[in-house]
Amino acid sequence: MTQRTLVVKVGTSLLRAGDEFLQALAANLSAERQRGTRLVLVTSGAVGLGCNELGLAQRPQLVEELQAAAAIGQGQLMARYDAVFRPHGQTVAQVLLTRGDLASRRRFIKASRTLLQLLDWDVLPIINENDTLATEELRFGDNDTLSALVAVAIGANELLLLTDVDRLYSADPKANANARPIREVRDLDELNALDSAAGDGGRWGTGGMTTKLAAARIATASGIQVRLGNGRSPAVVRELLGGGDHGTRFLPSSEPIPDRKGWLAHALVPEADVVIDAGAEKALIEQGGSLLAVGVSSIEGSFEAQQPVRICNSSGQELARGLSRCSSDQVQGVVVHRDQMVITAHLSRPTIPPPP
């Protein structure tokens, strides 16, 4: 029987509960680890702890201030985790990642191997975005996305998103009395409908739930089950870890995309958009062909050979992503080979915004 591999993500809202939350989390995760589950923890909190140490009344706005606060808080965050896991005999390891670490295929594989080695040593990797060094272009922007990409990188069976609400709702239950609880999301169509309901307005639409839906799209497309639940209750966390019927369950795709295609779809940061005509669109979507220069209508931005690009139709809809075989000023022959491309049209909303 294949050993279960689980990625657990906790956010800043839970960490504000202080040492009591961390102690309960450590007890639950350590118990699950002792049952044989391979665990990875993705955490927020470094910037907040740095701000607390500095006595700042509000979160800084300048990038260099955020990075400096993270540099102060990262050590404190790991010290707290080490203190709560050590009594359970659980060794922890800090892993700091930027999107650049996963956007490079070579570095993606190295990160994957390092994490798997830590798991083989019965060590609990504790992962956070490297806010101290990440530039704006190479930031994940949220640890939900990071947790989903980590789950893909290590071939996890499940991603557990612990938050401060009991489950996903059709709208913000604090603002809408008619909001209905959602216990299961069965496929991409249901997930896309939830995205549309979230919209762009209100706390629910612009806050944490939108990024959790994006994380669910990344993970489920790669065959990983996602569950979202209340992390404030130690009893609920314990049952969620054991597969109990709490929160919202996102079922994995019945036709998951392979590891490399998942990396192409979700980890790359596109350098430019390649707009194609109707004939090329048909060749890509219906025939599984490569993108040839004859089908390119225009290029928005610039790129070098082997750099990632988005492939869009004339309406601006993203169809695919891939690695170019030539630079933007030397477009000829095969522009993107089908082996270096993943069709993303069926994934609906892109998980990474288009290039500026």
Per-residue pLDDT for 45 more than 50? yes
Q: Are 335 and 274 in contact (CB under 8 A)?
A: yes
Indicate the angle between helix axes 208-221 and 259-266, nearest 10 degrees.
Answer: 150
Domain ranges of the chain: 5-261, 269-347
Identify the band that residue 208 occupies on the pLDDT scale cut at 50, 70 and 90.
Answer: low
- pLDDT recorded at residue 78: 92
Identify the band that residue 137 occupies on the pLDDT scale cut at 50, 70 and 90.
Answer: very low
Per-residue pLDDT for 314 more than 60? yes
- pLDDT recorded at residue 154: 94
User: Which one is predicted more confidently, 332 or 80?
Assistant: 80
**Rounded average pLDDT over 226-240:** 91
Q: Average model confidence (pLDDT) for the chain?
A: 84
| 124 closest CA partner among 22, 26, 18, 1 | 26
- The DSSP bridge partners found for residue 5 are 38
**What are the tens digits of pLDDT across the range 143-190?**
888 999 999 999 999 999 998 888 888 777 777 778 888 888 887 777
d(CA 43, CA 210): 18
CATH T-level topology, domain 269-347: 2.30.130
Q: Out of 128-142, 162-176, 256-270, 319-333, which region has the weakest mean confidence (pLDDT)?
A: 128-142
CATH T-level topology, domain 5-261: Carbamate kinase (3.40.1160)
- pLDDT recorded at residue 49: 85
Contacts of residue 86, defined as CB under 8 A and 6 or more positions apart, other chains included, come to none
Percentage above 90 pLDDT, the chain = 44
